[in-house]
């Protein structure tokens, strides 16, 4: 009996040490889906360079902010300005704020279909009024691209005219994440004529990217990283944040259609 108890105690100690070691070598990150493609490309390089393992969670923009505000246990949160509620929560180190990149809303059509002119606000307006169906991420769950598109339609005073054509798509990931990927798939399957979402999320091989909406009507969405006040390993969290703001990261942001902050 004593031998069994001793064995159990050894196993318990081993598991405890193993969990502590894993916590010390793992860096957790939470971010909006708009930066997902870039971050997933950057993670292997960071892991190889530092020996830390990254566990990343991607939600909608609004879902990410709420997780941070409510004290989610992440080492590195990436959020969209303005974020007064994030700072007021005390869950991030304000001094660690690091601008990473900005993402723009783009337009895509089915592969091989004619590409509409989106070079000016007037051209975009003409496109939207002429389109039969348009897929966009659903802003109801905090999809930042959807929020941006809704604002644009109101500014252009065509929201009521375009509304009947809109297919608002909810992502099937946590917190509604993944809406941008789904709207692209709808275009590829010829379920809608065109889609609008963050350009960095348009990766479906069955679509052709038309381009970015003009800044005058569709301001870019910035993304800023922080070190969490709850970081298990602040040094590792800081290292990841620095890597995501490095010149090599900037090249990746450019490659996926984002604009580096530096």
The domain that holds 197 is classified in CATH as: 3.40.190.10
Number of domains in the chain: 2
Residue by residue, what is the 3-state secondary structure of 52-93?
A: CEEEEEEECHHHHHHHHHCCCCCCEEEECCCCHHHHHCCCEC
Range of the domain at 89: 27-100+222-260
231 and 205 inside one domain: no
pTM: 0.84
Residues 120 and 96 reside in one and the same domain:
no
| Residue 125 maps to a domain | yes
Please list the pLDDT of the chain residue by residue as tens digits (262 residues): 555 444 444 334 333 334 433 445 899 999 999 999 999 999 999 999 999 999 999 998 998 999 999 999 899 999 999 999 999 999 999 999 999 999 999 999 999 999 999 999 999 999 999 999 999 999 987 889 999 999 999 999 999 999 999 999 987 655 555 678 899 999 999 999 999 999 999 999 999 999 999 999 999 999 999 999 999 999 999 999 999 999 999 999 999 999 999 7
Exposure string for 209-237, b = 16+ CB within 10 A, e = fewer: bbbbbbeebbebbbbbbbbbebbbbeebb
Residues 200 and 227 grouped into a single domain: no
Domain assignment present for 147: yes
If asked whether residues 65 and 116 sit together in one domain, one would say no
* 181 and 119 in a common domain: yes
Asked if residue 236 is part of any domain, the answer here is yes
Residues 119 and 196 in one domain: yes
Residue 113 lies in a domain: yes
């Amino acid at each position: 009996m004593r031998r069994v108890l001793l064995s159990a105690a050894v196993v318990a100690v081993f598991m405890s040490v193993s969990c502590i070691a894993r916590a010390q070598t793992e860096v957790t990150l939470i971010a909006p889906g708009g930066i997902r493609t870039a971050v997933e490309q950057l993670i292997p390089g960071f892991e190889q360079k530092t020996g830390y393992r990254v566990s990343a969670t991607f939600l909608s923009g609004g879902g990410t902010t709420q997780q941070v505000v409510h004290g989610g246990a992440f080492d590195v949160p990436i959020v969209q300005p303005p974020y007064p509620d994030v700072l007021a929560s005390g869950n991030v180190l304000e001094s660690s704020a690091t601008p990473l990149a900005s993402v723009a809303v783009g337009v895509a059509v089915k592969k091989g279909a004619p590409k509409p002119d989106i070079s000016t606000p007037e051209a975009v307006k003409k496109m939207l009024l002429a389109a039969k169906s348009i897929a966009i991420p659903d802003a109801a769950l905090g999809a930042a691209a959807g929020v941006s598109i809704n604002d644009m339609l109101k500014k252009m005073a065509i929201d009521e005219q375009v509304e009947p054509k809109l297919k608002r798509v909810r992502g099937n990931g946590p917190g509604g994440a993944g809406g941008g990927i789904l709207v692209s798939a709808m275009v590829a399957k010829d379920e809608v004529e065109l889609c609008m979402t963050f350009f960095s999320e348009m990766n479906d091989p069955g679509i052709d990217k038309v381009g970015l909406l003009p800044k005058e009507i569709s301001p870019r969405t910035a993304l800023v990283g922080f070190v969490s006040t709850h970081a298990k390993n602040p040094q590792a969290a800081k290292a990841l944040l620095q890597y995501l703001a490095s010149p090599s990261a900037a090249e990746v942001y450019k490659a996926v259609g984002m604009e580096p902050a530096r």
